[in-house]
Structure 1
Amino acid sequence: MTTIPQPSEGMNSHADVARVPSALPLLDSDVLRTFVAIAESGSFTRAAHNVFRTPSALSMQIKRLEETLGQSLFVREARRVRLTPQGEVLLGYGRRLLRLNEEAVAHFIAPPLEGSVQFGSPDDVGSRILPRVLAQFARSHPGVQVEVVVGRSVDLLERVDAGELDLALVTVGNQGPPAERGEVVFSEPLVWASLAGGVAIERTPLPLALANHGCAWRSLALDALDRSGLDYRVAYTSENCAGQEAALLADLAVAPLPLSLLRAPLRIVEAGAGLPAIGEYQMAMVRGANTGSACEVLGGHVIEALQGLR
């Protein structure tokens, strides 16, 4: 009988060490929360106020995080800080990790939510963030039934007043609902958009693609044009932003759109084209008379997703 020699204990240990990779460092949730707070506020001082710590403590956390990852995450400027390209990548991971952490804790600790929520949203928000928000909410709170109504802000506000909606996100403008009707949760620049390489911007009078009357984007853009004295005509009117985009893609007009909504082949009209600055529009969360915990939790998910558009 032939005996096969076995490797010595030292040989086993050496082989095992060679096969096992070094453990990667873990990202601390508290440090990630600090990082996200600084990225979203653009300031160590404002972030320190939000997380109830001193700016120096936040600086030490970020320094250790940068050393751990071997990457510079922020560019320090005179009055603000901005993310480096690697910081932008980490911001996406950080938001997802914090959200998953909250979902996991809520699953075991938070009381289960039940009931139904009637939620109203403008078309542009419905297409940009709602699918992701509702999917996440359904995973976290399967006992809550959410019914969504997509429509104009003025109509949504009427349905809140009539008790048909528990919660609604509405666009605030100089002809829209006043900000006092709800909590302003988001603001974003409106920009002039056109087809890249198109000629609509060169036409006189300027052809516009606008939403119907009552839209905050429409009223803000027309006010800016009226103040500038620029000659224009409304060439295309649509119930929703998809109609405006269709007119832009056909090179029929230019349109006021939120900055986060622009996608190639659409582009921002350059400042040298002579169009006036439009300014920012706001969105407010309006709550009905009898909202409960499910409404508040869903509203929090929507607000978080909006902040991620910045």
Structure 2
Amino acid sequence: MLKLEHLRTFITVADTGNIADAAEMLGRTPSAVSMTLKQLEGDIGGALFQSDRKSNLTALGRFTLDNARAQISGFDASVRTIRAYAAHEIGRLAIASVPSVATILLPSALATFLGPRPGLEVELLDADSRSVARMVDAGSAEIGIAGPPQETARLTFAPLICDRFRVVHSASDPLAAITRPLDWQDLHDASFIRNEAADAIDLPELRERYYAATLMVRNVASLLAMVREGLGVTLLPTLATINLPAGLQARDVDFRGAERIVGMITRTASHPSPVAAAFVRHFHQSLAASAPALGIEAL
């Protein structure tokens, strides 16, 4: 049976033209190199050199040398690729995320993660929390960043941040004249516009007025356009209010419970790829550094 070690020895002898120099390069004794060549010739079934001096190859030797170089080169390339994958230097990672995390937290985290890893391929999928969970469950994304999934048997949820909700209104809304944090009394006469993120808030004070809203907008850009036109006010997490368009204001609300938990969603039965495991560690570090300035709490 042909061994890669024997082929490497043969290539070295053929390149140096003698056993002594080859033995020195390989860190072996000349007798050990000579024995390896004899075993290789026995496995192949023919002489590789024209004489014991090993300076000239036979026709079989030349043919074997060409093929041995190709095999060794391919094997070494495969080993390098496997090691690079294990060291998360190459590979592919699909991340599904809610829009606020995708636009505020992920850009800086990915920039520092991908900088030293130019061989990585990353796909970022922007979706609401339910869709993020579905994509992870279906395997189209290895990592999800969203609210807690409804499906808990197949998915694992690890909390990342606590993100308080804020009231978003137009600059011309009467609420703009109130300089302190808003409370429920301030919102008594407000017309709400529902959205997917705020629907997760479970507060008795909110149910009567918020869920009576007749307008529901799922896309954040469209939602903000509606608010700017004065169709109503809405509730959005702090991350979603950081870069508001002109004509809009985001206000703190003075009541507990109006917050969302965002975390990492993965498949329970799947072992993370080296790239995914490395990114999770990196994202935790990036989040811890950026959370205080953004007004969110890292968990």
Q: What residue is the counterpart of 1:21 in the other structure? A: none
Over the matched positions of the two proteins, sequence identity in percent amounts to 19
Alignment partners' CA distance in 2, 1:181 and 1:216: 20
Between 1 and 2, higher relative CO (CA 8 Å, sep ≥ 6) is seen in 2
1:153 is the counterpart of 2:129 = yes
Alignment partners' CA distance in 2, 1:136 and 1:150: 20
Q: Amino acid of the residue matched to residue 118 of structure 1?
A: A
Contact in 1 for aligned 2:169/2:175 (Cα 8 Å): yes
What stretches of structure 2 of length at least 5 have no aligned partner? 1-85, 177-185
1:259 is displaced (CA, Å) by 2.5
Q: Which residue, out of 277, 292, 298, partners 1:296?
A: 277
1:244 is the counterpart of 2:244 = no
Q: Amino acid of the residue matched to residue 266 of structure 1?
A: Q
What is the correspondence of 1:39-54 to structure 2 with a 5 Å cutoff?
A: none
Q: Amino acid of the residue matched to residue 144 of structure 1?
A: L
1:259 is the counterpart of 2:249 = no
1:206 is the counterpart of 2:181 = no
Q: What residue is the counterpart of 1:137 in the other structure? A: 113
Q: Which residue, out of 195, 205, 213, partners 2:170?
A: 195
1:126 is the counterpart of 2:105 = no
1:279 is displaced (CA, Å) by 2.3
Contact in 2 for aligned 1:191/1:278 (Cα 8 Å): no
Q: For residues 177-234 of structure 1, what are the alpha-carbon distances to aligned partners after superposition, in whole Å with 9 as ceiling and x for unaligned?
A: 66983111111211222223414898976322222xxx342230675412xx547642
Q: What residue is the counterpart of 1:218 in the other structure? A: 199
Alignment partners' CA distance in 2, 1:172 and 1:183: 9
1:164 is the counterpart of 2:146 = no
Find the residue that maps to 2:275 and give its secondary structure.
helix
What is the correspondence of 1:265-284 to structure 2 with a 5 Å cutoff?
A: 265-268=248-251, 271=254, 277-284=256-263
Contact in 2 for aligned 1:172/1:284 (Cα 8 Å): yes
Q: For residues 165-186 of structure 1, what are the alpha-carbon distances to aligned partners after superposition, in whole Å with 9 as ceiling and x for unaligned?
A: 111111138xx56698311111
Alignment partners' CA distance in 2, 1:167 and 1:126: 13
Q: What residue is the counterpart of 2:46 in the other structure? A: none
Find the residue that maps to 1:182 and give its secondary structure.
strand
Alignment partners' CA distance in 1, 2:117 and 2:191: 47
Q: For residues 50-79 of structure 1, what are the alpha-carbon distances to aligned partners after superposition, in whole Å with 9 as ceiling and x for unaligned?
A: xxxxxxxxxxxxxxxxxxxxxxxxxxxxxx
Contact in 2 for aligned 1:137/1:298 (Cα 8 Å): yes
Q: What residue is the counterpart of 1:43 in the other structure? A: none
Alignment RMSD: 3.2
1:244 is displaced (CA, Å) by 2.4
Alignment partners' CA distance in 2, 1:120 and 1:241: 17
1:248 is displaced (CA, Å) by 2.2
1:277 is displaced (CA, Å) by 4.7
Contact in 2 for aligned 1:200/1:253 (Cα 8 Å): no
Q: TM-score, normalised by structure 1?
A: 0.52
Contact in 2 for aligned 1:248/1:266 (Cα 8 Å): no
Change (3 A) 1:224 1:172: farther
Alignment partners' CA distance in 2, 1:270 and 1:297: 37
Change (3 A) 1:268 1:192: same
Change (3 A) 1:296 1:240: farther
Q: TM-score, normalised by structure 2?
A: 0.54
Structure number with bigger Rg: 2
Alignment partners' CA distance in 2, 1:242 and 1:185: 25
Q: Amino acid of the residue matched to residue 217 of structure 1?
A: A
